Structure 1
Amino acid sequence: MNTTKLHDVSFQLASEQEKRTHWKNGWRARSYPHYAAILLVALLIPATLRAADKPRVIATTDGEVDDRSSMIRFLLYTCDFDVAGIVEVNSKYQKKGHSAEHWIQEQLDAYAKVLPNLRKHNAAFPDADSLRRVMRVGNENVDDLYVAPPDMQTKDTAGEQLIIDTLLDNDPRPVHVLSWGGANTTASALWKLKTQYPKVKFDYAVSRIRIYCIWYQDGGGEWIQKNIPEAYINEAYQWDNVWDYESYDNARKENKPSANPPFVQEYMKPAWLDANIKQDHGPLGALTPQKYISEGDTPSFLHLVDNGLQAHVDYTLGGWGGRSVYDDPKYPNHISDKKITDDGDRNKMFWRWVPAAQNDFAARMDWCVKDFSEANHPPIVKLRGEPTCDVKPGDTVTLAADASDPDSDQLSCRWWHYADADSANEMLTIANSDSLDDASFVVPNEPGKQIQIILEVTDNGTPTLVSYQRLICNIK
Structure 2
Amino acid sequence: KIGNISNKGEMDKETEGSNFLKTLFLDDDKRDLYVQTWGGTNTTARALKSIEDQYKNTDQWETIRKKVSDKLVLYIILDQDDSYNKYIAKNWPDIRIINDQSNFWHFAYAWKMHTEKVNSKLHGEWNFKNIKDGHGKLLSMYALMGDGNIIKGELPEEQRGTDAYLKKNPQYNKYDFISEGDSPSFFYLINN
Structure 1-normalised TM-score?
0.31
Amino acid at match of 1:157: T
Q: Which residues in structure 2 correspond to 1:307-456 (within 5 Å)?
A: 307=192
Considering fraction of residues, name the structure with more strand: 1
Determine which structure has more spread, i.e. the larger CA radius of gyration: 1
| C-alpha distance in 2 between matches for 1:290 and 1:226 | 41
| Residue in structure 2 matched with residue 241 of structure 1 by the alignment | 105
Are 1:217 and 2:80 counterparts?
Answer: yes
Aligned residues: 155
| C-alpha distance in 2 between matches for 1:238 and 1:206 | 25
- Indicate if the aligned counterparts of 1:268 and 1:294 stay in contact, CA closer than 8 A: no
Considering fraction of residues, name the structure with more helix: 2
| Residue in structure 2 matched with residue 159 of structure 1 by the alignment | 17
Quick one: which of 29, 46, 59 aligns to 1:188?
46
| C-alpha distance in 2 between matches for 1:196 and 1:186 | 16
Please report how far the alpha carbon of residue 221 of structure 1 lies from its aligned counterpart in structure 2 after TM superposition.
Answer: 2.8
Q: Which residues in structure 2 correspond to 1:111-130 (within 5 Å)?
A: none
Structure 1 residues 274, 226: CA separation in 2 closer, same or farther (over 3 Å shift)?
farther
Please report how far the alpha carbon of residue 141 of structure 1 lies from its aligned counterpart in structure 2 after TM superposition.
Answer: 0.6
| Residue in structure 1 matched with residue 4 of structure 2 by the alignment | 139
Quick one: which of 227, 236, 239 aligns to 2:91?
227
Structure 1 residues 283, 183: CA separation in 2 closer, same or farther (over 3 Å shift)?
farther
| C-alpha distance in 2 between matches for 1:219 and 1:206 | 20
Are 1:300 and 2:185 counterparts?
Answer: yes
Structure 1 residues 184, 290: CA separation in 2 closer, same or farther (over 3 Å shift)?
farther
| C-alpha distance in 2 between matches for 1:167 and 1:146 | 20
Please report how far the alpha carbon of residue 184 of structure 1 lies from its aligned counterpart in structure 2 after TM superposition.
Answer: 0.7
Q: Which residues in structure 2 correspond to 1:69-84 (within 5 Å)?
A: none
Q: Secondary structure at the match of 2:89?
A: helix
Structure 1 outlier segments of 4+, above 6 Å = none
Q: Could you list the per-position Cα deviations for residues 272-304 of structure 1 after superposition, in whole angstroms to 9, with x for gaps in the alignment? A: 332233332223223333421411111112121
User: Percent identity of the aligned residues?
Assistant: 32
CA RMSD of aligned residues (A): 1.8
Structure 1 residues 242, 274: CA separation in 2 closer, same or farther (over 3 Å shift)?
same
| C-alpha distance in 2 between matches for 1:221 and 1:192 | 15
| C-alpha distance in 2 between matches for 1:271 and 1:220 | 42
Please report how far the alpha carbon of residue 228 of structure 1 lies from its aligned counterpart in structure 2 after TM superposition.
Answer: 2.1
Are 1:179 and 2:37 counterparts?
Answer: yes
Which blocks of at least 5 consecutive residues in structure 2 are unaligned?
146-176
Are 1:208 and 2:62 counterparts?
Answer: no
Please report how far the alpha carbon of residue 188 of structure 1 lies from its aligned counterpart in structure 2 after TM superposition.
Answer: 0.6
Amino acid at match of 1:176: Y
Amino acid at match of 2:69: V
Amino acid at match of 2:27: D
Please report how far the alpha carbon of residue 247 of structure 1 lies from its aligned counterpart in structure 2 after TM superposition.
Answer: 0.8
